[in-house]
């Protein structure tokens, strides 16, 4: 299942970005054409990509996904090499590190949030974390084509390497003393570690981090969804960068 992209928006995004090699596009004979389908056909023609109209039976195996009658068969996602990424010039850049995210929808939402907030890369571990599958691609609404994803064997090694390269490492943890908005994010390269839905960031990574921050919670109700927690933190970093030097309103 890792080699298809489904849904009108995701297929369109993949065609526009050109970052994934598309082998073939399948369109169900049973769906009504609309602007989006016409756009997909047009883009496919421009790029010399085959599209086929197929009987709905062909889509039976994808019944559990909301494919909207459109599927692209693609080459597997190309992960970015960590060392190559580090060698690029970085200035006031940010990375998001995911420590054990299990839910595909959460990973998709996180990828969208990262692209919208201008994050430079996402690092996931090669084990004990959901990988970039079709559901992630779909939930990301095509955002996966706009951000490098780096897969590493050891998050701990990755964190050490980031620190050696003068990146600051910030972990989000519910029991932290400091609130996330009290860190100044405007003048450094930084990585934010978000933990698993239940377990949070692992102890060894918390220990290796330069800062540990929390989101202040009302109502003693401490169970923000991980993608929503990331959104609060990452857009605070955006706010700080965009308002730097301005008088506070």
Among 31, 116, 156, 208, binds a second copy (CB under 8 A): 116
Q: Which is nearer to a second copy, 10 or 209 (CB)?
A: 10
Give 160 or 225: the residue with its C-beta nearer to a second copy: 225
218: contact with a second copy by CB under 8 A: yes
Q: From CA 60, how far away is CA 237, in angstroms rounded?
A: 44
If binding is defined by CB under 8 A, does position 231 make contact with a second copy?
Answer: yes
What is the CA angle 196-198-203, rounded to 5? 65
CA distance 218 to 47: 52
Closest separation in Å from C-beta 157 to a second copy: 29
Taking the least distance from each CB to a second copy, the nearer of 173 and 236 is 236
Measured between alpha carbons, how far is 10 from 15 in angstroms, rounded to an integer? 9
Binding residue (CB under 8 A) for a second copy from 109, 155, 196, 205 = 109
Torsion of CA 90, 93, 166, 108, to 10 degrees: -120
Residue 160 or 184 with smaller CB distance to a second copy: 184
Q: Does 112 bind a second copy (CB under 8 A)?
A: yes
CA distances from 123 to 96, 154, 214, 238 (A): 6, 10, 21, 19
Does 141 contact a second copy by CB under 8 A?
yes
Q: From the CB of 204, what's the least distance to a second copy, in Å?
A: 25
184 touches a second copy (CB under 8 A):
yes
DSSP secondary structure, 198-249, as one string = TTBS-HHHHHH-SEEEE---STT-----HHHHHHHHHHHHHHHHHHTTSPP-
**How many residues bind to a second copy according to rule CB under 8 A?**
41
* Cβ(73)–Cβ(44) below 8 Å: no
Binding site residues, a second copy, CB under 8 A: 105, 109, 112-113, 115-118, 141-143, 146, 179, 181-182, 184, 215-219, 221-225, 227-232, 234-236, 238-239, 242-243, 248-249
């Amino acid at each position: 299942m890792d080699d298809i992209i489904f849904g009108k928006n995701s297929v369109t995004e993949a065609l526009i970005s050109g970052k994934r090699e598309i082998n073939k596009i399948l369109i169900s004979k049973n769906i009504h054409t609309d602007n989006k389908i016409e756009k997909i056909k047009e883009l496919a023609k421009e790029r010399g990509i085959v599209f086929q109209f197929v009987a709905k039976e062909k889509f039976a195996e994808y019944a559990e996904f909301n494919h909207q009658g459109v599927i692209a068969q693609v080459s597997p996602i190309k992960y970015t090499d960590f060392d190559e990424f580090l060698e690029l010039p970085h200035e006031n850049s940010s990375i998001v590190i995911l420590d054990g995210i299990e839910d595909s929808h959460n990973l998709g939402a996180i990828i969208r949030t990262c692209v919208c907030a201008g994050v430079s890369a996402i690092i996931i571990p090669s084990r004990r974390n959901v990988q970039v599958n079709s559901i992630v691609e779909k939930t990301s609404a095509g955002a996966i084509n706009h951000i490098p994803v780096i897969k590493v064997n050891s998050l701990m090694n990755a964190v050490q390497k980031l620190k050696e390269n003068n990146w600051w490492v910030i972990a989000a943890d519910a029991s932290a003393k400091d609130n996330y908005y009290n860190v100044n994010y405007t003048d450094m390269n930084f990585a934010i570690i978000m933990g698993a839905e239940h377990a949070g960031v692992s102890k060894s990574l918390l220990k290796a981090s330069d800062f540990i921050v929390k989101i202040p919670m009302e109502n003693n109700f401490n169970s923000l969804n991980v993608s929503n927690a990331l959104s609060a933190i990452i857009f605070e970093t955006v706010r700080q960068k965009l308002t730097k030097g301005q008088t506070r309103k």
